[in-house]
Structure formats: C-alpha cells, structure tokens
Chains A and B, each alone.
Chain A
Amino acid sequence: MRTLLAAIAFVVAVGLVFGSLGYAEESATPIKVGAILAISGPASFLGAPEVKTAEMFVDKINKAGGVDGHKIELIVKDSGAKPENAISMAKQLIDEDKVLAIIGPSTSGETMAIKNICQEAKTILLSCAAAEDIVNPVASYVFKTPQKDSDAARLIFITMKGKGISKVGVVASNDGFGMAGKAQLEKLAPEYGITVAISETYDKQATDLTDVLTKLKGQDVQAVINWSIVPAQSLVAKNMKQIGLDVPLFQSHGFGNIKYVKAGGEAANGTLFPCGRLLVADVLPDSNPQKTLLMKYKSDYESKYKEDVSTFGGHAYDALLILTEAIKKAGSTDTDKVRDAIENLKGLVGTAGIFNFSATDHNGLSMDAFEMLTVNDGQFALYKE
C-alpha cells in the first residue's frame, strides 16, 4: 500500500514538474535577472541607488512590453556588502532561480568572490564594481560597467602634470576598491614622472584621519590622492584643512556622490576627481552624445525618488542597458548567444560612457569616459585648467 502511495505521489510530482515546465514554455517566458546589491550595510550608498535604478529601469521596460515580448523579472538580493552573502546568493540565483544574468555585486570584493562561480555556471555577470581585476584577466561570462581604475589614475596624473605637481601622498581605505586603486596609483605614477612619497591605508570605518594626514604633511607632499568609496572621503577633505595641509586633494571616481560634498561642507570645495559625465549632465554641450540619455536618467530618477542622482545608480542602469540591448541583438534568451552579443556591442551610449566591447575588453570604456571634475561652492563642476 505504502509503495503504491509513493508511486502515485511520484507520478503526480513528475506530472507537476513537466506540466509546469510545459506551461512556462507556452506563454511568453519572462527573463529572469538576478541582482546582488549592497542595499544595506557599509556600501549601501552604492547598493541603494543601484536597486532603485534597476527597479525603475525594469518597470519602464515591462510597461513598454518587455524586451522582444519577454517581460523582465528582477530578483533582488541584499548582500549587505558581505562577500560570503554574495556567494550564497549567487549560487541560489544560479541553481534555484536559473537566472539568465546577474547584475552586481556593488563592491569589488564581492564581485571577485563570485567571479569564478558565475564563470563555471556559465551565467552572465554584469558587475557594478570598479576594480580592474574583475575583467583582467578576462573571464568569458564576466563584464563590468564602471570605468577602469587605471584610467582614473592616469587622468589624475595627467592633471597633476598640468599643475606642475611631482610629489604626492596616497591614502586608501583598506577594502577591495581602496587596495586595488592604491596598487594602480603606485604602478602608474612613474610613467608620468610622479613620485609617490608615502602611501598609507586606513580602516574603512575610520572616524578621523588626522594622524595619517599628519604623516603625509611631514613628507611635504604637493598633493594628496585619496582612493576610497567610504564616507572617509569627506573626512580626508575636512582633516586636511583642519591640520593646515593646504595642497590640492584628488579623489577617485568614488567621490561621485553629492552627499560626500555635503558632508565635507566648506572643506570639499576645490576637490578634484575623475568621474563620468552624469554629475555634470546639465552643463554638457548639447553636442555631447551622452547628454540626452544622462538628462533623461537624471530627471526620471530625481522625480521618482526625490533624491540626487549618483554615478553608482548609473552603473546598474548600464548593466541592464547592456543586457537588454544584447538580448535584442541576439534575438534570443540563450545565455551563450546573449554573451556573444555583449562582446559585439559597439558604440552603446550608457551613463558611464560609450561602451565598445570586444572579446578581450569586457569593460568597453576608455579614458574618454572620464571627465575631470571639481567642487565649486558645494556643487560639481567641470574642471578647467
């Protein structure tokens, strides 16, 4: 009797599985896209605008009938910026939800933790994190949307040469983004004839940096470069002024959030940093190919969420844009076809710049994606020499 029951249960179960599969095949299948973003926790300033942007983007696409008739189903996971969470969420999205692609994670450390998982599972990963290691060496299923660290470093050094600066001090936060940037700066400085006199790391949750900056001051540096994405970016600006270290402050593209300018107040004025054009969209000439898209994203985001747009949300925008464009181009939702289509995307205008992917370049952006920005009276402005 028991075996009979078990047999019936088995048959019913099999029927259900196949039945549901059959049903799913018939109706227009939604495209499942996972999003692993640091919505809470220390990197929430990245994840929060990213998730808002992603939801806005998907809403808009679905209202317009989806991509080639397929609706997008966005499955959002909050990693809290913890690599271990990112790993289990990536496995869940791949094994249980069977997503076509994952956008995120928000931070470089998390992305590196799941790079191989996605590669081995042949799931497309479109990272919103900056570190160069994500796409170098290239993993065939792994892409990233923010500009390259090395290009940011190069633009900083070029600007420094223009200002006649030859001896600098570097401070960086002790997380994936900070450490990777610090390594790039130390590696590239000699190419531009610039000496890194001192290079230090600080705790990513630091609440005061007077001591480290005093050390830089002791080395008579002509400029300070800070490389981090944490709130300490405003602290560097404030503490430098407070200890009378009156040299130019250069920051990384992680400074692209008006909140940090507000937190730095008066001290943030004059900060120089390389950044995408989103923050200065209003003052771009109309001839700029990115202008229309940037203004549209900015006004959509700001009217929907009543907060200032940041470049980080733009990284999620670009990730979804690349994915949807590739699906259209491939005319299919087959992972490998979509992957190949991404590699063939050329001249795609996004928020971070103009993407030109290839089999060897999974970032697709060049140095002209950056513009040197500065802060005037608490507002971002284009830097003019």
Chain B
Amino acid sequence: MNLPQIVQYCFAGITVGSIYAIVAIGFNIIYNTTGIINFAQGEFLIVGAMTAISLSAVLPLPLAIILAVLLTTLLGGLIEIVFIRKVRDASVLRLIVITIGISIIMREAMLHIWDEKVRSLPYFTGNEVSTVTILGAHISPQVLWVLGICGVIVAGLTLFFRLTLTGRAMRACADNRMAARLCGINDRWMVTLSFMLSAGIGALAGCVISPVTQTQYDMGAPLAIKGFTVAILGGIGNSMAAVVAGLFLGLMEAFMVSQFDAAYKEAVSIVILLLILVFRPSGLFGRSEIAAAGTA
C-alpha cells in the first residue's frame, strides 16, 4: 500500500467511526442518569432525521434540523413520562426491556407515518460528489461535519455535566438516587431530562449522518448496535471515550477490509466486544467502579 491508499483507508475508517461515535454518545446520557441502556436510541436518530427531511421541504435546512431536534427532544420527554415513569419496581432489567418495546413501537409508527422508502437530507456543504483532498486521499465534507458536531456535543456535554447544577444533579441521580432525592433533587424530572437530552442529541446525530448513511425507517437498530458496541468499548457513560472508541473501531474495520474479505468486516466489532467484555468489562477508558455500579 502506498501513502495515499493508507490515508484513504484511514478516511474510510474515520467516516464510519464518526458515525459510530455520534450514535454512542446518546447511550451515555441516559445511562449517566438512570443506569439503563436505552435501546430505542437508534430510533431517536431516525425520527430526528425523518422529521428534518419532511420539514426541509418547506423550511431552510438549518431551521428544519433545529425544529426536528426540538420535536424529537419533546418526544423523548413524552416517552419517558408515558412509559418509564409509571413503572413500579423499576429494576434496570425491566426498564431495558421496556426500551426495546419502545424501539419496536417507534419503528412501526415510522413505517406508517413515513413509508418504507429510503431518503436523505442534502449535504450540508457541497453535494454527493464533492470531496476534500488531503495527502492524495479524498473525504466527503459531510464527514468533517459529523466529526465537528461530535466534538461540539462532547464538549457541551462535558461542560454541562461538570459545571451546571442541573448536570451535577443528573449525575447525582445515577450515583445514588435515594441520596440525591434526600438532597432535594427532583429525581423524576432528572430522568425525564436525560431522555429529552438523549433524544435531542440522537436527532441531531441522525440529521448530520443522514446525507452519508441515508435514512430508512428500520435503520435505527443496526446503527444502535454499533453505537452500543462503541459505548461499551469506550467505557459506558464516558462520551469522550465513546468518540475515541468509535474512531478506533472504524479504523480497525477499514484496515481489516484492506487485508481480508470485506464479508468478515462485521465480525470485527463482535470479536472486539467479546474481548472487552471478558478482559476489560469497564471499557478501554473506563474506571472499574463504573462497571461495578452498572452491574449492581
């Protein structure tokens, strides 16, 4: 392989890696507040993208995306209030099963609201054939958008969880819900807020990846599986680690394809996931107590 080719494989890896990463971030927010994995995260992406696509027919693109993110945020809150809040004896397992149910309902609803057709948002910059050339290799400008928005989301979330009172209150709920309640934190609303935040970020992710991946009503689940793998790989709950892990998995897959049959590409993520779960359950960058808290 010559240099431009190696760089091209890196770009291929970064393209898919950035998609994995931006999906993975959404998992972390709900996990950080509630300790549950929201398996409907992939559907939030698709709802966001589909709404933006419909709105972009009548509104300018940025406005359509903002409105779609807001609508999906509200939907996230509504789903929490209707399906999650009412559950008695809410064990982690029970809530996770409920999120699987929500994902199925959302998928079927999308099939009826939109249809089975594949759609996509227009490219934010340029079009389907534009590329940026670096070191003799090419990358779509949209991938730079995905990476940029990934960075903005991670920075924003880190600041939010570290510095704001609401962010700290949400983290407190994850650490010890009873203690948080005793400190006067309204834990119920914190959970609702985490669903809203995660739905909103999912919708934004769905919009920014839509030109690259295209959007179809049943694409949420496969995206969510990759995102989940990446979230576990990085260490669940840590958004920065999710981005690094996403890019790592993307690059691993790309170089795997360069040497072996592309048919085995999907095996990479599964093998890595198994290795991580066996040898380092807290994730590559996770602290061990997070894993322990997760299983408790």
Binding site for B on A (CB under 8 A): 39-42, 44-45, 48, 171, 174, 200-203, 205, 207-208, 210-212, 214-215, 217-218, 231, 234-235, 237-238, 241-244, 259-260, 263-268
Contact = CB atoms under 8 A, between A and B. Distances in A.
A238 B141 CA distance: 12
A218 B1 contact: yes
A344 B130 CA distance: 54
A241 B128 contact: yes
Contacts, number: 122
A218 B122 CA distance: 30
Interface string B115-132: 111111010000111110
A265 B218 CA distance: 22
A218 B119 contact: no
Given A211-B258, A214-B258, A243-B8, A265 B265 contact: no
A243 B117 CA distance: 26
B127 A207 contact: no
B257 A211 contact: yes
A210 B261 contact: no
B265 A203 contact: yes
Contact of A244 (B138, B209, B219): B138
Contacts of B266: 203
A130 to B, nearest CB: 19
A39 B112 CA distance: 12
Contacts of B138: 242-244
B254 interface: yes
Contact of B118 (A41, A243, A263): A263
B223 interface: yes
Nearest to A264: B128
24 contacts: A39-B116, A40-B116, A45-B116, A171-B262, A200-B263, A203-B265, A205-B219, A208-B16, A208-B19, A210-B12, A212-B257, A215-B258, A234-B214, A238-B129, A242-B130, A242-B131, A242-B139, A242-B140, A243-B12, A259-B117, A263-B120, A265-B128, A267-B128, A268-B128
A207 B120 contact: no
A259 B129 contact: no
A260 B128 CA distance: 13
Contacts of A231: 118, 214, 216
Contacts of B158: none
A198 to B, nearest CB: 10
B242 interface: no
Interface residues of B, number: 46
A181 B278 CA distance: 40
Contacts of B127: 265-266
Nearest to A234: B214
Nearest to B141: A242
B222 A238 contact: no
B195 interface: no
A207 B128 contact: no
Contact of A243 (B131, B212, B263): B131
B128 A202 contact: no
A214 B5 contact: yes
A211 B262 contact: yes
B16 A207 contact: yes
Contact of A42 (B11, B129, B212, B218): B218
A214 B9 CA distance: 7
Contact of A263 (B9, B214, B254): B214
Nearest to A259: B117
